[in-house]
Chains A and B, each alone.
Chain A
Amino acid sequence: MENFNQIEKDILDKIKSIKNRNSYDSVKTEIFGKKGILTELFKKIGSLDQDQRKEFASRLNSLKTKVTEILEKKLNDFNQLEIDKKLKNENLDVTLPGRTYFSGKIHPVSQVIDEVTSIFSEIGFSVEEGPDVENEYYNFSALNTPENHPARDMHDTFYLEQSKDLLLRTHTSPVQIRTMLKGKPPFKIIAPGRTYRCDSDQTHSPMFHQLEGLHIGKNINMGHLKGCLYYFVKKFFEVEKVKIRFRPSHFPFTEPSAEVDIGYKIENGQIKVGDGDKWLEVLGCGMVHPNVLKNAKVNPKQYQGYAFGVGLDRLAMLKYGINDLRAFFESDIRWLEFYGFDPLDVPTNYRGLSR
Chain B
Amino acid sequence: MITSLSWLKNHLSTKANLKQVVERLTEIGLEVESIKSPDSSLDNFTICKIIKSQKHPNADKLKICEVDIGKGNLVKVVCGAQNAIDGLFTVYAPPGAIIPKTKIKLKIAKIRGIESFGMLCSGNELDQSSDVDGIIELNKKDKNIGDKYFKNSSEEVIDISITPNRPDCLGIRGIARDLAASGLGHLKKQPPIKINQKFKQPIKVSIINEKNNGCAVFGSVYIKNVVNKESPDWLKKRIVSLGLKPISAIVDITNYIMFDLNRPLHAYDADKINKEIIVRNSKKGETFEALDNKKYLLDNDMCAITDKSGVLGLGGIIGGTRSGTEFSTKNILLESAYFYPSEIRKTAKKLNIDTDAKYRFERGIDPNSIKIGLELAMCMVLDICGGEASKLSFAGKFKTKNKSIELNYDKFLNIIGFAITSSEIKKILTSLGCEIKSGKKSIKVYPPSWRPDIKQDIDLIEELIRIKGYKKIPLINPEKENIKETLNNRQKLFHFSQRAVAAKGFIEAVTWSFTDSKVDNYFSELKNEIRLSNPISNDLDVLRSSLYSNLMISAKKNIHRNFEDLMLFEIGPVFTGKEPGKQTTMIGAIKTGKHSRKNWIEKERNFDVFDIKGDVLRTLTEIGIDSQKISISNKTKKWYHPGRSGLISLGSSNGPELAYFGEIHPSIIKKLDLKVETVLGFEIFLDNIPESRKKIREIKPQFIVSDYQKVIRDFAFVIDGKINSGEIINIVKNTDKVLIKNVKIFDIYQGENIESGKKSIAFSVTFEPKEKTLSEEDIEKVSKNIISSVQKETGATLRS
Contact = CB atoms under 8 A, between A and B. Distances in A.
B88 interface: no
Point out which of B26, B470, B491, B599 has the most chain A C-beta atoms below 10 A from its C-beta.
B470
Interface in A324-345: 328-334, 336-337, 340, 343-344
Given A104-B505, A158-B534, A160-B533, A96 B600 contact: yes
Contacts of A124: 478-483
B193 interface: no
Interface residues of A, number: 90
Interface string A203-236: 0001100000000000101111011101100000
B580 interface: yes
B580 A166 contact: yes
B533 A148 contact: no
A102 B486 contact: no
Given A133-B579, A134-B580, A219-B414, A248 B466 contact: yes
Contacts of B666: none
B416 A223 contact: yes
Contacts of A223: 416-418, 473-476
A231 B508 contact: no
Contacts of A259: 31
B504 interface: yes
15 contacts: A96-B601, A99-B596, A125-B486, A126-B488, A133-B543, A148-B362, A150-B164, A153-B164, A158-B532, A158-B534, A166-B578, A188-B483, A188-B484, A206-B514, A250-B29
Interface of B: 26-29, 31, 163-166, 341-342, 345-346, 362-363, 414-418, 456, 458-459, 461-462, 465-466, 470-471, 473-488, 491, 495, 498-514, 530-536, 540, 543, 550-551, 554, 557-558, 561, 563, 566-568, 572-573, 575, 578-583, 595-596, 599-602
A341 B477 CA distance: 31
A256 B507 contact: no
A110 interface: yes
A107 B563 contact: no
Contact of A105 (B163, B458, B482, B502): B502
Interface string A227-259: 110110000000000000011111010011111
Contacts of B563: 333-334
B580 A224 contact: no
Nearest to B591: A102
A249 B572 contact: no
Nearest to A199: B536
Given A168-B513, A247-B26, A259-B31, 8 more contacts: A106-B498, A106-B508, A107-B508, A158-B514, A206-B536, A207-B514, A227-B476, A252-B165
B459 A255 contact: yes
A256 B461 contact: yes
A219 to B, nearest CB: 7
B166 A250 contact: yes
A104 B507 contact: yes
A328 B510 contact: yes
B511 A331 contact: yes
A262 B324 CA distance: 50
B505 A102 contact: yes
Interface of A: 96-97, 99-107, 109-110, 114, 117, 120-127, 129, 131-135, 138, 148-151, 153-154, 158-163, 166, 168, 186, 188, 194, 196, 198, 200, 206-207, 219, 221-224, 226-228, 230-231, 246-250, 252, 255-259, 287, 289-290, 304, 328-334, 336-337, 340, 343-344, 346
A221 B477 CA distance: 12
Given A123-B480, A148-B342, A150-B164, A340 B475 contact: no
A124 B483 CA distance: 6
B495 A114 contact: yes
B499 A160 contact: no
A194 B573 contact: yes
Q: Kindly list the 3 A-B residue pairs having the minimum CB-CB distance in the complex, ordered from nearest.
A: A102-B505, A248-B29, A223-B417
A296 to B, nearest CB: 16
A336 B507 contact: yes
A103 B135 CA distance: 68
Given A127-B491, A248-B28, A133 B575 contact: yes
A333 B558 contact: yes
A249 B480 contact: no
Contacts of B346: 148
Given A159-B534, A206-B536, A222-B417, A247 B459 contact: no
B460 to A, nearest CB: 10
B405 to A, nearest CB: 13
A167 B483 CA distance: 33
Given A148-B341, A200-B536, A207 B28 contact: no
Contact of B415 (A114, A131, A228, A304): A304
A129 B534 CA distance: 25
